[in-house]
Structure 1
Amino acid sequence: MLGARPSHSSAALLSAVVLLHVQAAAAVSFQVLVPADPLSAPLGGTVLLPCHLSPPLSAQAMQVKWSRPQLGQDVHVYLPDGSEVQAERYQGRTELLRDRIQSGTLALRIRNLTLQDEGRYLCDFQSNSIVGNATLELRVTSSGLDPLLHIGGYDGKQMNVTCLSVGWYPKLKMLWRNGHGERLTLSKEEKISRNWGLFDVSSSVVVTKHSDPTLICAIRPGSPSPEKVSVILISDDFFPQVSSWKVGLFLFLSVCVCLLFFPACYLWRVQRAKRKSSNLTTKT
């Protein structure tokens, strides 16, 4: 009887060790997969953050938590009993898609995106045999208005052309090109961040009568959005030129005036002298 006890204890110890190895093997054999590249979504829009186990395994009895560790925030948590906990600042905006939970997929949907929603999200699976997580990045974008062009600062030889656009996120690049696609040098550029985080941008170029008449203002967003472009054609009317025949006529008339001026002065002096002489004779 006494000799059987060590045998029973050894068996129990062996079973525990085997169980731990099985659990460790299970924990190692499963991966949590999320998109490797950042996800982009528009400000005020909706985004779906995918996350799943590989190979597929039911997560119905697990805890699955979406969080933002760098901010110390839990976003939305699924508990083993099937209940959910939603963070206060995400109330009414987040939803866990549970239709594929049996295959280990539990995506997070976020609606009415704000700029504060941008950043890294952690998808974490936990159970007695499964422990794993993965991080993905969300980028929020705002596509501003089409660029507006304004002409000003004309001094007879050159003028400033300004391009303006508002309501962008993240920061963007504003480029100028001529009709041949060549980059132009900016004379002034300004980026302004408004209180709610969006950016306004304006830049100017100097145009002379020798410049290419076609000006292209292009906005290249910092997000994977299409380029926005505005074009203006600077006609010769902005730089009035005096025709050669007009210059010739002006010179001819100037010479004629000079030629007539001197004889007229001479005749006036002669007539004045005659009047003086006549007045003296009359008095005598």
Structure 2
Amino acid sequence: MVTGPDSLFVTLLILLHTLPSESVKFEVLGPTEPIVAVAGDDVILPCYLKPNISVEDMTVDWRNLDPIDDIFYRYQNGRIILEDQIPSYRGRTSLFKEELWRGNTSLKLTRVQVTDDGLYECLIQSKDWYDDIKIQVLVKAVGSRPVVSIEGHREGGMGLVCQSEGWHPEPDLVWLDSKGVSLSAGPPETHRDLKGFYTVKQHVIVQETDTNLFTCRVLQKRINEEVETEVHIPSALLNYTTPWRLSFIVCCCLGVITVIGLALTAFCTCKKTENDSNI
């Protein structure tokens, strides 16, 4: 049995071994603002330790919390474990291996898809400690310049339709006159394809103005993007008399001519009768 100073020394070693060491505690840091990624590009999701200690003997989990809530990348004991990786992330994720020794666990996500939009978690675990950070990823895709087509004459004016495709998130579409005042238009039509891109369309009926200039604007305030197309409609088109209006005018004219003819006939008949009675 060890006694005296040696005994005290052994006891201290045991206590130091059993008590959690402050040196293994760390904090996981990352961005506080959303990361904006462009569909089709690559993006880096920052995540690192403070202090900058090595994670080579730790576990690093990257998890998608929205909407699937599952691990899509794991680094553990010096190995990358991807056996159960979410299929949509296969071949698109990696860490910076040369940076792991100083606590950099940032994730590189290549060929960003609109379905990557959501909330992510970077979780780092050692034997005695763990911490995490959550990162909001906003995937944006700016759609095509609006295409404006003339649909022809409608009740009340000329019918126009505007369409733009390839957007994310879902955008708004507005019709404006030459002064920037919103026009009353039909209900917006929105379609989302299998890849998550949005197409928007909206019809409007316009009437002649001093400029005959009209603008279709598509905007997404969340990503601060907008595109627009201006169109000029000639007065000759706006003032064109449609067949039904032409028929109506012709009928009115014929009606007026008929009434005048009947009136003249009646007048002549009365005049003739009056002359006959005088003889």
TM-score calculated relative to the size of structure 1: 0.72
Match of 1:270? Answer: none
| Bigger mean CA deviation after superposition, 144-153 or 40-49 | 40-49
Question: Does the CA contact (< 8 Å) of 1:33 and 1:51 recur in 2?
Answer: yes
Partner of 2:98: 99
**Distance across 1 between alignment mates of 2:229 and 2:65:** 43
The C-alpha deviation readout for 1:248-284, integer Å capped at 9, x for no partner, is xxxxxx99xx9xxx8xxx9xxxxxxxxxxxxxxxxxx
State the shift of 1:131 in Å. 1.7
Tell whether the 8 Å contact from 2:178 to 2:213 is kept in structure 1 after alignment. yes
- Give the Å deviation of 1:79: 2.0
1:179 maps to 178
The 3-state SS of whatever aligns with 1:48 is strand
Secondary structure of the 1:101 match is helix
Three-state SS of the structure 1 residue aligned to 2:188 is strand
- The answer to whether the 8 A contact 1:67-1:76 is kept is yes
- For the residues of structure 2 that align with 1:184 and 1:162, how far apart are their CA atoms? 13
Identity level (%) = 24
With over 3 angstroms needed to count, the CA separation of the structure-2 counterparts of 1:84 and 1:156, relative to structure 1, is closer
The residue that corresponds to 2:29 in the other structure is 33
Report the Cα distance in structure 1 between the residues aligned to 2:154 and 2:114, rounded to whole angstroms. Answer: 44
- Structure 1: which amino acid aligns with 2:58? M
Deviation at 1:56, TM superposition (A): 2.0
The 5-angstrom pairing of residues 1-284 of structure 1 reads 11=12, 14-15=15-16, 19-20=19-20, 22-23=21-22, 26-27=24-25, 30-69=26-65, 71-80=68-77, 82-86=78-82, 87=85, 89=87, 90-155=89-154, 158-210=157-209, 213-221=212-220, 223-224=222-223, 226-240=225-239
* Contact preservation (8 Å) 2:171, 2:219: yes
Contact map agreement 2:158 2:238 (CA 8 A) in 1? no
Give the drift of 1:3.
Answer: 7.8
RMSD: 3.5
Q: Which amino acid aligns with 1:76?
A: Y
CA distance in 2, matches of 1:167, 1:69: 25
Contact 1:178-1:212 within 8 A present in 2 as well? no
Give the Cα separation in 2 of the matches to 1:88 and 1:239: 56
Counterpart CA distance in 1 for 2:179 and 2:205 is: 17
Deviation for aligned residue 1:185:
2.3
Count of matched residue pairs: 247
Structure with max Cα Rg: 1
Q: Please, what TM-score do these two structures have when normalized by structure 2?
A: 0.74
Tell me by how many angstroms 1:231 deviates: 0.3
List per-residue Cα deviations over 1:133-175 (Å, max 9, x = no partner): 1111222233222111012241485112211112222210112
Does structure 2 conserve the Cα–Cα contact (< 8 Å) formed by 1:42 and 1:140?
yes
- Give the Cα–Cα distance (whole angstroms) in 2 for the partners of residues 2 and 48 of structure 1: 57
1:124–1:132: 8 Å Cα contact kept in structure 2? yes
Structure 1 unaligned regions, length at least 5: 243-253, 267-284
Equivalent pair of 1:188/1:205 in contact (CA under 8 Å): no
Looking at structure 1, the residues matched to 169 and 42 of structure 2 have their Cα atoms a distance apart, in angstroms, of 18
* In 2: Cα distance, 1:156 partner to 1:184 partner: 16
- Kindly report structure 1 stretches of 4+ aligned residues shifted beyond 3 Å: 1-17
2:272 aligns with none
Note the alpha carbon deviations across 1:213-239, whole angstroms, 9 max, x for none: 111111102552531110001221223
Structure 1: distance between partners of 2:54 and 2:119 = 25
- Between stretches 168-177 and 37-46, larger displacement belongs to 37-46
Q: How far 1:10 moved relative to its partner?
A: 5.9
Letter matched to residue 57 of structure 1: I
> Structure 2 counterpart of 1:135, which letter?
K
DSSP-derived class of the 2:54 partner: coil
CA distance in 1, matches of 2:173, 2:7: 80
1:8-55 Cα deviation digits (max 9, x unpaired): 8864664356x32x33x752xx32111112222233332211111123
- Go from structure 1 to structure 2 and tell me whether the alpha carbon gap of 1:239 and 1:156 turns closer, same or farther (over 3 Å shift): farther
Conserved? CA contact 1:218–1:229, under 8 Å: yes
Q: For residues 81 and 137 of structure 2, what CA distance do their matches in structure 1 show?
A: 21
With over 3 angstroms needed to count, the CA separation of the structure-2 counterparts of 1:177 and 1:72, relative to structure 1, is closer
Distance 1:195 1:129, change over 3 A: closer
